[in-house]
A and B are shown apart, each in its own frame.
Chain A
Amino acid sequence: MPRRRLPEWFLLLLPAIIVIAAVVLIPLIFSLYSSFTPYKLTRPSTLWKWIGTYNYEKILTDAKFWAAFGRTVLFLTIALNLEMLLGLGIALMVNKVTWGQRTLRTILMFPMMFSPILVGFQFKFIFNDNIGLVNNALQSMGFNVALPWLVDGKLAMFSIAFAEIWMSTSVFAILILAGLFAMPRDPLEAAKVDGCTPWQSFRHITLPFLMPFIYIAMTIRSLDVARAYDIVQIMTGGGPARRTELLWTLMSRTGYVDARMGLANAMGYVSILLSIFFTVYFFRKLSAARAEIGMGS
């Protein structure tokens, strides 16, 4: 009896599955297990003590955790929406330009090449209260102030959001611009003939066509929302007095500084669920938007 061979598609997918299982899945299983133990890096024997859902109960009743969680969700919501709106605005502006469009598009790609950690340092430098560009410029213009951009809680949050938006808006702008280029001209001209106002034709023709492009950008972004960690870690490290603490900085502090791996891994799972929620949400929006304009898969 001949042995049944594995189907070809499975053989083709096998390397991908193996590598992801080895590097992502196994550590995740390990961390799921350790989140049920009081594991501390300094005391390896604690790995074998089962304490059930104690860590989860602990973080669920921890006010600091919920503050960080709420701040993370709020931060992501505001940042993603602003990035989308600004990206849309920039794309529409660049689309209207009649010359030098290619140069503008190249400039737009500029922030995409920056490492998130580099963006963090860059804005830490620019928002520095003593020698930073922003304060220097303000003082040279005659305002006799030294705003504590990274020291005051609210200003620090603003600075971080600014850095994040600076880094990621171009993803939206470029994809939406590509959508504008791909757009058929006839419906727009027909609308003009029929007497639509510019706003009406934007709202009912341009925007629905752009939606899938917006959701692709959202999906790509949601795949690594957590890279904001690099920025926050560098710019404020979660400070001052935890006012800019996001889920990710709280987790790395618990894991590496306090060496409480079990607890940190429990937080890690919450953050993984959060990321997965964002990704799945935008994937569904993406396929819905695709179906609407008849580009279904």
Chain B
Amino acid sequence: MDRNQTHRNRRRALKVLHFSALFLTMAVICIPGLWIVLNSFRPTVEIMAKPPVWTPSFTLDHYRAMFGGAGEGGVPVFSYFRNSLIVSVVSTFIAILIGMSGGYAFARYRFKGKSGYFVGLMLFRAVPGVALSLPLFIVFAKVGIIDTHLGLILVYVAMNVPFTIWLTDGFFRQIPKELHEAAEIDGCTRWQAFWKVEFPVAKSGVASAAIFAFLTSWNEFALASQLTRSVGSKTMPVGLLDFTAEFTINWGGMCALAVLMIIPALILTFLVQKHLIAGLTFGGVKG
């Protein structure tokens, strides 16, 4: 009886501990993001207030200034948003096409030096953006594609192809060879067999690769900050810097732009959440 009691108590204590640790972790994960969202709705006076004001008040000033184009520094948010969208979508699309064909080659063909090629490709992904941005800046300036969408798209395609190959390779390997062989016996060409049989099966892997490619291009800063100069090609991560002046930062405006940056990423990630995890684990573990 007594032993039962202590056992039960211990169990309860563990449960409380587990719950509070979990709660604390989630709080640490959520609060910084929420803080940004919250501050985008607060007037600047309140953000800067000393002592701090904890009771929230609500204003849309920062959004109004941001979308109005004028006002606080007149940051051309629409152009940045459009640039980001064009660059990310186009580069993701191309990277997926190229990466898929590469992943298929690795999954379906046997050739000499296969693992060498594979690791070699991955190593190109590991080159730090800052280290690459110095020479890339000079080369692009010579070719004349600095400060253009095309330049950024090219860079992001090259950045995303290796990882896409890794993920799709794992997925194509999951698909039994018999599937496309049967399709070919039934009169499909290899090309048709791929699109009608193998591609639909590997869809979730492709979706997760696409999300990763999109997020990489959407969020990239080190290269974009050097390769873009004007309103015509600056992406949003670079645009964030517009809110900083020599000694002051317009925190409210920056938070508003940050919210605008997160929303598309948030929506996309939630849409394909399930594929994302499946893609990562299949691609890696069984690849």
Contacts and interface: CB of A to CB of B under 8 A. Distances in A.
B76 interface: no
Contacts of B29: 107-108, 110-111, 166, 170
Contacts of A122: 32-33, 35-36, 258
B134 A90 contact: no
A27 B52 contact: no
Of listed B22, B108, B219, residue having the most chain A CB within 10 A: B219
Interface stretch (A53-61, A63-71, A150-158, A274-282): A274-282
Contact of A216 (B128, B165, B281): B281
Contacts of B102: 12-13, 15-16
Given A109-B273, A110-B33, A118-B219, A130 B50 contact: yes
B39 to A, nearest CB: 8
Contacts of B21: 93
B286 interface: yes
A213 B286 CA distance: 11
A25 B121 CA distance: 11
A178 B31 CA distance: 25
Interface in B139-172: 139, 154-155, 157-158, 161-163, 165
Nearest to B33: A110
Interface in B93-126: 97-99, 101-102, 104-106, 108-109, 111, 117, 119, 121-126
A123 to B, nearest CB: 7
Binding site secondary structure of chain A: helix
Contact of B134 (A12, A268, A279): A268
A113 B284 CA distance: 21
B215 A223 contact: no
B165 A16 contact: yes
Given A23-B154, A223-B126, A9 B109 contact: yes
B263 to A, nearest CB: 10
A108 B36 CA distance: 17
A279 B126 contact: yes
Interface in A1-51: 7-10, 12-13, 15-16, 19-20, 22-28, 30-31, 34
A261 interface: yes
B125 A93 contact: no
A97 interface: yes
B200 interface: no
Contacts of B258: 118, 121-122
Interface stretch (A77-85, A184-192, A199-207, A224-232): A224-232
Interface in B15-41: 18, 21-22, 25-26, 28-33, 35-36, 39
B79 interface: no
A182 interface: yes
A297 B166 CA distance: 13
Contacts of B18: 93, 96
Contacts of A297: 287
A224 B130 CA distance: 11
A236 interface: no
Interface of A: 7-10, 12-13, 15-16, 19-20, 22-28, 30-31, 34, 90, 93-94, 96-97, 104-118, 121-126, 130-131, 133, 136, 139-140, 166, 170, 174-175, 178-179, 182, 212-213, 216, 219-220, 222-227, 229-230, 248, 251-252, 255-256, 261, 264-265, 268-269, 271-272, 275-276, 278-280, 283, 286, 290, 295, 297
